[in-house]
Amino acid sequence: MYWQGTRPYRVPLPTGWTRGSVRSVNSKGLMAGTLTRDDRKYVLFTYEKGARAVRILTAPADPAGGTGGIAVNDAGRVAWVTGTVAKEWQGGRLVRELPLPVGAQGGTRIDKISGINKRGDIVGSAYRWKEQDGRPNILYQSYPVVWPAGSGPAYALPGVDENNPARETHPAGIDDRGVVAAAEISSWHGSLDAVGYVWQTPYTAPATALPGLAGQEELELADLSPTTNRLVGTAMTFLDGGYAKPSQATYQTGRGPVKVLPVPDPASDARATAVADDDRVAGQINGAAVIWTCADQQATLPEN
């Protein structure tokens, strides 16, 4: 489904397809997502707001390998990973497969698409694994990848901690200037788990670490706005096998301090998952979908 204001609308499911998920939407109301049927096969679809039917872009595929992220931009370009292959569509037509970066080591695959900007630059993530010394140990390397609009080789962005198998890089998106934001996340707890980073074009310099939220130990970035340099995410503290305090929806502009978006009850868990140029932020409070309007005016510095 999708919302206009606070009113929900269903996306019509074609005959034989029993479940669906909208994963991305552009400013013109074009949505992209997946449909699943009872045999668990899935397809990629697009849907125009208010239309009578969806457009299916792919043949039914087996769920082996899973799906890794979908993104659509205002020009109607759609990027998706199915199994181990990343592809791009426009106008319902497949226009290219997204290659691995030059020099990618054996065992590397693209596992997620995280964003596509106005001109068509696409960001995703790559990881590498293999057995070590005949044992089922996984050597893990994770880093963002940017595919320039149209064609050209992919950029492998300099990883934050490339040789640490405990770390994963989860890109949050790419803005219209080409700035990439990501969360660097540990695969286990016990120390600082999630930290935000940004990469600037032309992607030759290391990533810049972003500040965390005072009073919380971790900050997981989720999105950045197309042109207004806003970042949103979720701050949390994991301690002794559980979360020590409620999670908080975060908001920051550029390199300024991280602020908190308000909730009705301080004991509520809040997450910020998307931000628009008009300063609306989408997220959740205790699992319910919410939108903060005029977020910059509402966001405040934490009390502790």
Give Cβ neighbours of residue 40 (< 8 Å, ≥ 6 apart).
Answer: 62, 63
The answer to whether residues 110 and 145 belong to one domain is yes
Residue 108 sits in the same domain as residue 198: yes
Instruction: Report whether 179 contacts 198 (CB < 8 A).
Output: yes
Tell me which amino acid residue 147 is.
W
Alpha-carbon separation of residue 9 from 5, 56, 187 (angstroms): 11, 19, 37
The pLDDT of residue 136 is above 50: no
Residue 135: pLDDT band with limits 50, 70, 90: low
What is the residue-averaged pLDDT of the chain? 88
Q: Is residue 201 part of a domain?
A: yes
295 — phi, psi (to 5°)? -60, -35
Does residue 127 sit within a domain?
yes
Assess if residue 49 is contained within a domain.
no
Whether residue 89 is contained in a domain is answered as no
Q: Determine what percent of the chain is predicted with pLDDT higher than 90.
A: 63
Q: What is the pLDDT of residue 152?
A: 82
Looking at the predicted structure, is the pLDDT value of residue 149 above 70? yes
What pLDDT, in 10s, does the model give residues 1-48?
A: 998 888 999 999 999 999 999 999 998 999 999 999 999 999 999 999
Strands of 288-292's sheet in order across: 270-275, 281-285, 288-292
Which of 153, 179, 206 is a domain's end point? 206
For the chain, the domain total comes to 2
pLDDT digits (tens, 9 = 90+) for 163-221: 666 778 889 999 999 999 999 887 555 555 788 899 999 998 889 988 889 989 889 99
What would the two tokens of residue 26 be? 């552009």
**Same domain (yes/no): 199, 218:** no
Same-domain status, 202 and 116: yes
Same domain, 280 and 232: yes
Q: What is the mean pLDDT of residues 150-155?
A: 87
Whether residue 174 is found in the same domain as residue 125: yes
How much is the average pLDDT of 97-122? 90
Rounded to a whole number of angstroms, the CA Rg of the chain reads 19
Last residue of a domain, one of 206, 229, 253: 206
Alpha helices per DSSP H over the chain: 295-298
Neighbours of 192 (CB within 10 A): 13
Last residue of a domain, one of 206, 238, 266: 206
Kindly state whether residue 82 falls inside one of the protein's structural domains: no
pLDDT, tens digit, 9 for 90 and up, residues 217-272: 889 999 999 999 999 999 998 776 667 889 999 999 876 789 999 999 999 999 99
Instruction: Assess if residue 215 is contained within a domain.
Output: yes
List, for residues 115-128, the tens digit of each pLDDT value: 999 999 999 998 88
* CA 66 to mean position of chain CA atoms: 16
DSSP character at residue 295: H
Mean pLDDT of the 73-98 span: 91
Alpha carbons within 13 A on the beta-carbon side of 37 = 13
- Give a yes or no: residue 48 inside a domain: no
Domain that holds residue 189: 99-206
Residues 132 and 196 in one domain: yes
What pTM value is reported for the model?
A: 0.91
- Which residue in 212, 216, 221 sits closest to 283, CA to CA? 221
